Amino acid sequence: RAFLIDLDLAIKEQREKSSGARGKTGTRAFMAIGALLDDEEPHSFMHDLESFFWVFFWICIHYNGSQERVVPQFEKWNYADTEELAKQK
């Protein structure tokens, strides 16, 4: 079973202007560095590929078989401001 969320932020793939969302949306720990730093850069498939990398990285450092583990040095990614997070990545 799966759930689709944030459909209010869904956009047409072939659009002529931005989605209209105020600010950046998404989990910043998984956002591409270019997407974190540059509001003017158009979103590309490379941002999506980098986001997949960050999700995979997060899973690798947080999962250890049947035991969950948290790597403290990366937990602050959930709370760091945008520019600091981009530097840490």
pLDDT per residue rounded down to tens, the chain (89 residues): 777 777 766 666 665 655 555 567 778 889 999 888 876 777 788 989 999 999 999 888 877 776 666 677 788 888 888 889 999 88
3-state DSSP of 31-63 = CCHHHHHCCCCCCCHHHHHHHHHHHHHHHHHHE
What is the rounded CA–CA span in Å between residue 42 and residue 8? Answer: 20
Q: What is the pTM of this model?
A: 0.64
